[in-house]
């Protein structure tokens, strides 16, 4: 499907003043993130670093573009990656926010920009009309497919333009579990999001440093840090399959609290001999 209808307005405001060496070195940061040492912060950092090391997500000198939606998870990821690492080698971070152009979200870009400044990160913000385009008459049946395709395409292009070889998304453990069920129930396949996914013959990697972390803890951390989270303006987000699966898991957990843990563990014990 062609994406000619998507209009993009790059509002990379005063980018140069955000590009300083001190903001660019994850082992030499002195901003608010570097001074924070709550128990929750230390716990999340430990598991974030473990996931990065286990999957070899980041190597010395990598430049990581962090996708920021304006939600709690993405602010938390950016904040954690923008703080000093203990074991992960030196890398640099910048954030990207793709504004989808939904009605009611006119002031969101300013709020997100304020948070990015508070987190002390380099950033690019781009205004688009991807959201309304994905929900237009010709595409009513599956807005998510076109929306995520166009958004990713722009993020890949920005990564290339900015010399980033890693794109970090804020998908956590619960997202990975839910995606497995979505793909199984609706996609007719057994698959999920990988913590480290190589694309374009290895020129770019999509990484998910929150892979080991539960959603509740990530959200709790975002609350602890007081991030100004913006509302999800997408009309489809309230009726998506993900919401249904989330609620299904929630109800199953009332009888067996180990459900999510069991699904997570099962992904590490795939017996292909017992599949068709």
Question: Which residues contact ligand SF4 (rule: CB under 6 A)?
Answer: 100, 134, 143-144, 147-148, 234, 236-237, 240
Rank residues 23 and 151 by Cβ distance to ligand SF4 and give the closer one: 151
Q: Looking at beta carbons only, is 20 or 237 nearer to ligand SF4?
A: 237
For residue 170, what are its two tokens?
């804020």
Residue 22 C-beta: closest distance to ligand SF4, Å: 34
Between CA 204 and CA 159 the distance in angstroms is 9
Minimum distance of ligand SF4 from residue 116's CB (angstroms): 20
- Residue 147 neighbours by CB distance under 10 Å: 21
Q: 137 vs 273, which CB is nearer to ligand SF4?
A: 137
Whole-number minimum distance, CB 130 to ligand SF4, in Å?
8
* Smallest distance, ligand SF4 to C-beta of residue 240, A: 5
- Give the nearer residue to ligand SF4 in terms of CB position, either 139 or 197: 139
Q: What backbone torsions phi and psi does residue 210 show, to the nearest 5 degrees?
A: -90, 10
Report, in Å, the least distance between residue 96 CB and ligand SF4: 15
Strand order in the sheet with 166-168: 8-10, 122-128, 92-99, 63-67, 166-168, 204-207, 196-199
Tell me the C-alpha to C-alpha distance, in Å, between residue 118 and each of 115, 130, 136: 5, 27, 36
Please state, in angstroms and rounded to a whole number, the distance separating the CA atoms of residues 62 and 163. Answer: 9
Q: Tokens 């017996």 — which residue?
A: 271
Tell me whether residue 23 or residue 172 sits nearer to ligand SF4 (CB atom): 172
Alpha carbons 107 and 105: distance in angstroms, whole number:
6
């Amino acid at each position: 499907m062609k994406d000619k209808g998507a209009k993009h307005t790059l509002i990379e405001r005063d980018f140069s003043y955000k590009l300083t060496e001190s903001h660019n070195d994850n082992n030499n940061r002195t901003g608010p993130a570097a001074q924070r040492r709550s128990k929750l912060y230390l716990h999340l950092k430990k598991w974030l670093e473990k996931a990065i090391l286990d999957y070899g997500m980041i190597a010395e000198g990598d430049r990581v573009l962090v996708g920021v939606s304006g939600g709690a998870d993405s602010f938390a990821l950016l904040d954690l990656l923008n703080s000093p690492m203990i074991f992960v080698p030196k890398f640099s971070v910048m954030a990207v926010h793709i504004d989808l152009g939904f009605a009611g979200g006119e002031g969101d870009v300013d709020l997100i920009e304020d948070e990015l400044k508070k987190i002390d990160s380099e950033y690019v913000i781009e205004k688009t009309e991807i959201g309304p385009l994905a929900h237009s008459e010709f595409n009513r049946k599956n807005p998510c497919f076109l929306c995520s395709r166009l958004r990713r395409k722009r993020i890949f292009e920005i990564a290339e333009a900015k010399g980033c070889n890693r794109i970090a998304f804020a998908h956590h453990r619960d997202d990975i579990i839910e995606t497995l069920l979505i793909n199984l129930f609706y996609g007719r396949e057994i698959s999920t999001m990988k913590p480290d996914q190589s694309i374009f013959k290895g020129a770019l990697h999509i990484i998910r440093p929150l892979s080991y972390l539960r959603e509740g803890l990530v959200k709790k951390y975002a609350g602890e840090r007081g991030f100004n989270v913006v509302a999800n303006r997408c009309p489809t987000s309230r009726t998506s399959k993900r919401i249904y699966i989330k609620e299904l898991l929630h109800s199953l957990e009332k009888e067996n609290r180990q459900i999510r843990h069991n699904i997570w563990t099962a992904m590490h014990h795939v017996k292909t001999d017992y599949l068709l």
